[in-house]
Structure 1
Amino acid sequence: MKKSFFLILAALMLVLAGCGQAAPTSTDTTNNTTGGEAAPSESQELTTLKVASLPAPMDAILLLVKPLLVEDGINLEIVEMSDNIQPNDALANKEVDANFFQHVPYAEAYNEARGANIVPVQPVYNALYAGYSSKHKSIEELPNEAVVVIPNDPPNIAHSLLLLEQNDLIELKEGAGIKAGLNDITSNPKNLQFKEVDLLTLNRMMDDADLVTMYPAYAKPLGLSAKKDALIVEKDMQAFAITLMAREDNKDDPAIQKLAERMSGPEVEKFLEEEYTDTYPAF
């Protein structure tokens, strides 16, 4: 009996010793599965898409769709820039995958000047282009030889001239359209004097001009609204819709197409209608 008892006890000790050695092995396997290749982190699973942009409402729209894109497996990286040249340079040089700040005529002018191939992917919104004044309460008060400040880049010179023509302040040569320049003015009854400045400095010129033409993005920091404060406002100008842009070689990339889909979705439409009343969807 004693011999049998010791044999059973010895067997139990061997079993227990075996279990004690197996436990650390099991724990190590679990740790490897949690932190290793079997379960990649979310950041490893997402496709990163870099988009260059300018301040609101452009970057605000991108921030709005950023969490939506996570659901599509895309990590949207917004690269905010400080002028109207950097976003196109970055896109042309493949430093970013897309940009969002400009209309098609502006991109076409850049392509022509730089030999680039930036193309439209999705029009997103129209921004009401308007003329503002700190000196006059109505357009009828605009004096002869009034100083009119406009942007100095060709596409927005054309945009400004079309705005003035729509409001009967000048006439342009027939067919000038979105390529109109100062030389295309055929009638200027008030002998308006034009001063061209960089787009980003327009809102600093209010005290130096009788009329300044600019987009809502530059008027809003001054507390101005096209619908409430402008002396003149453009009529339909779909050609100047602010548009998501890519390159010819990547415009069909699935991630860019998914971004285009999100930027023309109901969330963006609602955001524009509620937060930026001087804009309206272009999709």
Structure 2
Amino acid sequence: MKLKQLVVALGASVLAVSASASFAGKLSVAATPVPHAEILEFAKPELAKQGVELDIKVFNDYVQPNLQVFEKQLDVNFFQHQPYLDTFNKDRGTDLVSVGLVHVEPFGIYSRKIKDLAELKDGATVAIPNDPSNGGRALLLLQKAGLITLKDPSNILATARDVAENPRKLKFRELEAATLPRVLEDVDVALINTNYALEAGLVPTTDALLIEGSDSPYANLVAARPDNKDSADVQTLIEVLHSPEVKAFILEKYKGAVVPAF
């Protein structure tokens, strides 16, 4: 090979290697705006230091983030908890998996009539969400409070019909989750999702009579496909999201409305 041809060939090889390397550490992540995209934005500079360029795609729905990861348009997503992912996989025929828990948006028990659950009277009216995922979540929290016992104590899709023991004869009102803050004056207690509590001006850390902890089965997770869940870039993302710096960010920014799950 002549010298000129050798130089051209070597140059082409270097360009090919450089192009390959520039994309080797790029990771696309679907996320909902708050707090998921905010947490990812905080983690982005540290990931860059470790050679991973994070491309955050913000969504306002819960369907496309899973479909686009499944269809390999995006690498991973961060917006959902395991019960939702399980239901989505079953209903849509997908096979996405969790690669790491990040945070819990705590579910709480609120009241305008009592200051402590010990004050709850026999026959009290308790408002809970009427959808399977959140209704079961509410009943699990009431069980944790010692107010009821479920037939299956671990059933995350339990309904009021699954209550085995109700010593205080609590009366359940199953209502749309978004309406629960508005009925606080009409019931003794209501179990409310954090996002709806915040929208109603409630402060979970001070207003909730009882609130979920980091052991909640509803911890939000990063989901990936089976074919990329063990990739170096995905594992680096999880390592950074589980760092002390990210934990401190969550605690400081959200002040208990979002709780680290690691």
- Which band: TM-score by shorter chain? 0.7 to 0.9
1:183 aligned counterpart, secondary structure? helix
**Pairing 1:57–2:28 present:** no
In 1, distance between residues paired with 2:206 and 2:106?
Answer: 12
What residue number does 1:130 align with? 108
Structure 1 position 247, deviation (Å): 1.5
The amino acid of 1:116's aligned partner reads: T
Q: Deviations over 1:141-190 (max 9, x none)?
A: 57846251326143x33221100111233221144433433331123434
Q: Check 1:234–1:44 CA distance in 2 against 1; reply closer, same or farther (3 A cut).
A: closer
Gaps of 5+ in 2: 1-10
Higher-Rg structure is 1
Give the root-mean-square deviation of aligned CA atoms. 3.2
**Pairing 1:205–2:184 present:** no
Alignment match of 1:88 (pick from 58, 66, 73):
66
Count matched residues: 243
Q: How does 1:69-84 map to 2 (within 5 A)?
A: 69-84=47-62
Q: Percentage identity across aligned positions?
A: 33
In 1, distance between residues paired with 2:70 and 2:23?
Answer: 27
**Pairing 1:97–2:75 present:** yes
In 1, distance between residues paired with 2:215 and 2:244?
Answer: 22
Alignment match of 1:150 (pick from 112, 129, 153):
129
Bigger shift: 100-109 or 82-91? 82-91
The amino acid of 1:168's aligned partner reads: G
The amino acid of 2:147's aligned partner reads: L
In 2, distance between residues paired with 1:143 and 1:56?
Answer: 39
In 1, distance between residues paired with 2:123 and 2:68?
Answer: 43
Bigger shift: 229-238 or 58-67? 229-238
In 1, distance between residues paired with 2:130 and 2:249?
Answer: 28
Alignment match of 1:192 (pick from 171, 174, 178):
171
Judge conservation of contact 1:169–1:190 (CA < 8 Å) in 2: no
Gaps of 5+ in 1: 1-32
1:101 aligned counterpart, secondary structure? strand
In 1, distance between residues paired with 2:25 and 2:218?
Answer: 31
What residue number does 1:162 align with? 140
What residue number does 1:11 align with? none
In 1, distance between residues paired with 2:151 and 2:42?
Answer: 42
1:149 aligned counterpart, secondary structure? strand
What TM-score do the two structures reach when normalised by structure 1? 0.72
What TM-score do the two structures reach when normalised by structure 2? 0.77
Q: How does 1:268-279 map to 2 (within 5 A)?
A: 268-278=246-256, 279=258
Judge conservation of contact 1:118–1:246 (CA < 8 Å) in 2: yes
Structure 1 position 231, deviation (Å): 2.4
